[in-house]
């Protein structure tokens, strides 16, 4: 997946444009910048990549989720439904606004189970945030139906799924708002960066102002701009945007390489009767950033993970015991270990997590193995990897 694997002259050229005039800031300094507007150019490029009306670049994927929720007016005391399997950024971004993360079970799509979502809705629920983990998606039609029936916002965290599609539409462009990350290990990277996408003009204008101290961005004199509402600084720099501009142009090439490598590995594993694959909803096409498969149970998945290491296979994980991606080990969250006081509402919600059973999620994550697809492998390396993976699995089942 990581864009840094294929990094070179194109990225260097874009960055040098910025270094040549020294304007590292995305707003203002019109006279000095020699016509270079890298952040604006990347936003325009992403509009066509994601087939969306509006793109707002921000400083990270975590910022993108927070800015997206804020732009739709979500804040103190509002509940946001999110999956048990994600990256810690999901609850961080929700809690930054004083909103309450409500964790619900995943199904074999490895993200939100629409039935679990429906069961978790209360009078305080404002949004459902699906996290399209490991390059694929949930049942977006079913989730959209739940959201429209209950008048909730559907937010897509597509940070790991750039390039994937659902019924022909890019992931991230289907809900009311979509979020992307361009951190160092994502499919395309800026070093650090993120984006909020939406077809809603109001959310876009809000995101644009909110991510830059509430500046209205009217006219070309920054000092004369007013602040219609409070904001913070979640800006991307021109240097980071320049890297992303080179990378995004290579996205189709990146996805094609991922698909080729994924297919070789998947075909090799498909012959093993004990192996089954992650469920991809009808009409969905993965970004092929990861290959996810299931084994019969947790014990076998753990043994296979160990056997992979012994056979020299790196970058494959069983997330059941993982600190970053699965609810089981999020002790700092459950214990509400905050540097500053949290509201009693949030503390109560977090404390409830200590006793909540997520047996459906445990069953899915326990059996799953997730393998990163690297772009830098040679064809020979992928083929060798495929045979080693098969040998490792066969050694334990
Ligand atoms: C990487 C990631 C984020 C956060 O992105 P950063 O740019 O690192 O802040 C959020 N959600 C998911 C699913 C991610 O993988």
DSSP 75-113: -TT-EEEEESBS-THHHHHHHTTT-EEEEE-B-TTSSB-
CB-CB contact of 146 with 128 (8 Å) = yes
- Residues with Cβ within 8 Å of 257's Cβ and at least 6 positions away in sequence, in order, are 375
pLDDT value at position 7? 84
Q: What angle do CA 13, 19, 20 make, to 5 degrees?
A: 85
Residues within 6 Å of ligand 1 by CB:
60-62, 86-87, 89, 131, 157, 159-160, 181, 183, 194
CB-CB contact of 6 with 375 (8 Å) = yes
User: How many helices (H) and strands (E) in the chain?
Assistant: 14, 14
pLDDT value at position 138? 98
Per-residue CA distances from 184 to 4, 188, 210, 248, 257 (Å): 7, 8, 25, 14, 19
Tokens at 275, concatenated? 């192996």
The 10s digit of each residue's pLDDT in 189-218 is 999 999 999 999 999 999 999 999 999 999
CATH class for the domain made up of 252-396: alpha beta
CA 89–ligand 1 middle distance (angstroms) = 6
* pLDDT exceeds cutoff 90 at 350: yes
Please state, as a whole number, how many other Cβ atoms lie within 10 Å of the Cβ of residue 374: 18
Atom of ligand 1 lying closest to residue 60 CA: 7
pLDDT value at position 77? 97
Pocket-testing residue among 3, 85, 157, 163, ligand 1, by greatest number of atoms within 8 A of Cβ: 157
- How large a percentage of the chain has pLDDT more than 70? 100
Atom of ligand 1 lying closest to residue 194 CA: 7
Per mean pLDDT, which range of 216-220, 307-311, 368-372 is the poorest? 216-220
The 10s digit of each residue's pLDDT in 60-104 is 999 999 999 999 999 999 999 999 999 999 999 999 999 999 999
| pLDDT band at 6; cut points 50, 70, 90 | confident
pLDDT value at position 220? 82
The 10s digit of each residue's pLDDT in 228-262 is 999 999 999 999 999 999 999 999 999 999 999 99
SS3 191: strand
The 10s digit of each residue's pLDDT in 121-133 is 999 999 999 999 9
Measuring from atom 5 of ligand 1, which residue has the nearest CA?
A: 61
CA 363–ligand 1 middle distance (angstroms) = 24
* pLDDT exceeds cutoff 90 at 4: no
Average pLDDT value over all residues in the chain: 97
Mean pLDDT to the nearest integer, 374-393: 97
> Torsion-angle region of residue 325: left (phi > 0), alpha (psi -120 to 50) or beta?
alpha
Task: Delimit the CATH 3.40.640.10 region(s) of the chain.
Answer: 3-250
Pocket-testing residue among 181, 235, 325, ligand 1, by greatest number of atoms within 8 A of Cβ: 181
CB-CB contact of 232 with 93 (8 Å) = no
Residue in the structure block whose two tokens are 């992650």: 278
The 10s digit of each residue's pLDDT in 324-349 is 999 999 999 999 999 999 999 999 99
**Residue 263 per-residue DSSP state:** H
* pLDDT exceeds cutoff 90 at 1: no
Atom of ligand 1 lying closest to residue 192 CA: 7
- How large a percentage of the chain has pLDDT more than 90? 96
Annotation: CATH topology of 3-250: 3.40.640
Concatenated DSSP letters of 7-62: --HHHHHHHHHHHHH----SSS-GGGSTT--HHHHHHHHHHHHTT-SEEEEES-HH
How much is the pTM? Answer: 0.97
The 10s digit of each residue's pLDDT in 213-236 is 999 999 888 888 999 999 999 999
CA 166–ligand 1 middle distance (angstroms) = 21
Q: Give bridge partners of residue 85 from the DSSP assignment.
A: 326
The 10s digit of each residue's pLDDT in 22-57 is 999 999 999 999 999 999 999 999 999 999 999 999
Measuring from atom 6 of ligand 1, which residue has the nearest CA?
A: 61
| pLDDT band at 136; cut points 50, 70, 90 | very high
The 79-83 sheet, strands edge to edge: 54-58, 194-198, 177-181, 153-157, 125-131, 79-83, 100-104
Mean pLDDT to the nearest integer, 269-286: 98
CA 61–ligand 1 middle distance (angstroms) = 5
* pLDDT exceeds cutoff 90 at 287: yes
CA 278–ligand 1 middle distance (angstroms) = 21
* pLDDT exceeds cutoff 80 at 320: yes
Q: Residues 186, 259, 334, 374: which is the catalytic one?
A: 186
Task: Delimit the CATH 3.90.1150.10 region(s) of the chain.
Answer: 252-396
What would you report as the CA-atom Rg of the chain, rounded to the nearest whole angstrom? 21
CB-CB contact of 160 with 289 (8 Å) = yes
Per the annotation, the verdict on 186 as an active-site residue is: yes
Residue in the structure block whose two tokens are 């300094």: 29
Measuring from atom 14 of ligand 1, which residue has the nearest CA?
A: 159
């Amino acid at each position: 997946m990581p864009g840094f694997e294929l990094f070179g002259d194109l990225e260097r050229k874009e960055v040098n444009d910025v270094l040549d005039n020294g304007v590292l800031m995305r707003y203002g300094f019109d006279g000095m910048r020699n016509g270079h507007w890298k952040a604006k150019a990347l936003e325009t490029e992403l509009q066509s990549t994601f087939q969306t009306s509006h793109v707002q670049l921000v400083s990270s994927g975590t910022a993108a989720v927070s800015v997206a929720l804020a732009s739709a007016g979500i804040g103190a005391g509002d509940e946001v439904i999110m999956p048990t399997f994600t990256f810690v950024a999901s609850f961080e971004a929700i809690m930054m606004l004083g909103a309450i993360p409500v964790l619900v079970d995943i199904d074999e799509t490895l993200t939100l189970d629409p039935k679990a979502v429906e069961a978790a809705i209360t009078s305080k629920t404002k949004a459902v945030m699906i996290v399209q983990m490991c390059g694929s998606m949930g049942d977006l039609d079913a989730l959209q139906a739940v959201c429209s029936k209950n008048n909730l916002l559907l937010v897509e965290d597509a940070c790991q799924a750039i390039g994937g599609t659902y019924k022909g539409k890019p992931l991230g462009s289907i809900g009311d708002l979509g979020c992307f990350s361009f951190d160092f290990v994502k499919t395309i990277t800026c070093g650090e960066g993120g984006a909020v996408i939406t077809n809603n003009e109001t959310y876009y204008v809000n995101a644009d102002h909110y991510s830059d101290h509430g500046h209205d961005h009217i006219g070309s004199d920054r000092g004369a701009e007013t602040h219609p509402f409070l904001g913070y600084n979640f800006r991307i720099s021109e240097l980071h945007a320049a890297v992303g501009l080179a990378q995004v142009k290579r996205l189709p090439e990146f996805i094609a390489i991922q698909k080729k490598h994924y297919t070789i590995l998947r075909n090799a594993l498909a012959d093993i009767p004990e192996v089954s694959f992650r469920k991809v909803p009808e009409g969905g096409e993965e970004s092929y950033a990861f290959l996810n498969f299931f084994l019969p149970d947790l014990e076998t998945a753990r043994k296979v993970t160990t056997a992979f290491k012994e056979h020299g296979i790196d970058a494959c994980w069983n997330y059941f015991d993982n600190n970053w991606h699965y609810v089981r080990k999020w002790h700092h969250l459950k214990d509400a270990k905050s540097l500053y006081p949290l509201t009693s509402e949030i503390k109560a919600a977090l404390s409830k997590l200590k006793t909540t059973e997520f047996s459906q999620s445990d069953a899915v994550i326990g059996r799953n193995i997730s393998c990163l697809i690297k772009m830098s492998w040679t064809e020979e390396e992928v083929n060798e990897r495929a045979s080693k993976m098969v040998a490792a699995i066969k050694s334990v089942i």
